[in-house]
Structure 1
Amino acid sequence: MEFSGKRALVTGGSRGIGKAISVALCEAGAKTLQVDLEDWDKTRSIVKNVGNIDILVNNAGYHVSKNFLDTVKESLDKQIDINIKSVFNVSQVVAKSMISRGTGGSIVNISGVRSVKPSPRACGFSICKAGLDMMTKVMALELGPHKIQVNSVNPTYVGTEETNESLRKNAEVLSSTIARHPLGHVVSLSDVTNATLFLLSDKSSMITGTSLFVDVI
C-alpha cells in the first residue's frame, strides 16, 4: 500500500495505536502530522492551518474504568469531548477542506469492539464508541458524493507496550485474554495498523461506512 505524496493527520499519534499508524504511514510514503484536542476552537484553528490533508485518522481516545453508578459528570463529559466531539470537530474541518479542493480523501475513525459488546466498568466509553460507529456511517453517507470515504476500525484489547507489560506480570489475565480469541493470540499493533492502512488505501476504494472489527464478533 503506497501513500507517496499524501499528507496524513493522526490524532493521538504520540503513543500506542496512533504512533504505530503514524509510523506505518510515514514508511509508506505519507507525510504525517499530529494534533492535540483539548480545546474545540484551538483545535479548529490548528487543523485549518496545517494545510491540505488527504488522510485523516481519528485515533485519540479517553477511557475511564468506572461502574455506571459511580461515573460522575466530569468523567462522562471528558469521554464525550475526546471520543465523540473531537472526532466531529476535526473531521468537519478536514472534510470541508477536501470538498473545497475537490480531491476527495479518506477518513478512518478508531473505534472499538465495545461499540457492540457491553462490558462492565465501561459504560461511558461504550456509549462513545457506539456513537462513533454511527457517526462514521452518517459521515460516509453525506461525504461519499464528494469522493470521501469514511470507515472505522474496531479493535479488541490491543497489545501495546503498556498493556503487554501488564499482561506479562499477570499470567492469568494473559491466558484468559488469549483464550477469548479463536485465533489464540493477543491483537497486536500491526494487526490494527494493517487494517487501518487497508481502509485508507486505494485497495478499499469501494468500501465506506463500514466498521472493520479486529476481533471475533
Structure 2
Amino acid sequence: MALSQKLVSSVKGIIFLLALLPFFRLVAFTILDKLGANPVEFITRNTGDWTLYFLCIALAVTPVRRLLNWPWLLKLRRMLGLYGFFYASLHFLTFLWFDHFFDLQEMWKDVLKRPFITVGFIAFVGLIPLALTSTNGMIKRLGGKRWQFLHKLVYVIVPLGVLHYYWMKSGKHDLTQPLIFAALVATLLLARVWWRWSSRLQNKANA
C-alpha cells in the first residue's frame, strides 16, 4: 500500500501530537493536583508504562509493515523510538529528582543495590546512543552497516525494560501487565528470527 508523501507527513504530524498527550495529561494532573496519594509513584509508573508502549510500537513497525505491505510505516519508526526515549528520560528524571533529589552518589548506590533498578538503568543508558544517532547526519557519519549494528541494541534494551518492569511488579504480586509485555516483545523478536531464517533458506534454495 503506497501513500503519497503529503499523506505520510500528515500521519506523522498526527502521531507526533497524539504521542504528546500522555505528557500533557501528566502536566494537567500535576497542576490540578490529581496525581493521587502518591504523586511520585503515579508519575514513575505512568512514564515507565509509556516508555514500554512506544518502544513496543516501534518494534512492531517492521512486522506490521511486512504483513500488510505498508512500506510507509518505516517513516514512523524513528519518531516512535524517540518518543520511547523521551518518556524513558522522564522516567529516569523522576527517579533522580524525586527519589534522590539529584544526589548522584545516593542514586548510584541505589542502582547497584537493587537489581530491578540496575536493569532499568542499563536499559536507559543503552537508549542514549540510539537517540543521539537517530539523525540522518549521524547515519551518514557512522555508515549504514555500523548504524544498523548499533541500533540492534534495541533488541536487548526492550527485553531489559520488560525485565525491569517485571521485577518491580513482582514485589506487588501484580504480574499481568509485565507478562503481556513479555509475550508481545517475545512475539515481535521471534517474528524477526523467523523471517531471517526463512530468508536464508530461500537464498540457499535459489543458489
By percentage of residues, which structure has more helix? 2
- Give the TM-score category using the shorter length: 0.3 to 0.5
By percentage of residues, which structure has more strand? 1
Structure (1 or 2) with the larger CA radius of gyration? 2
TM superposition score normalised by structure 2: 0.32
TM superposition score normalised by structure 1: 0.31
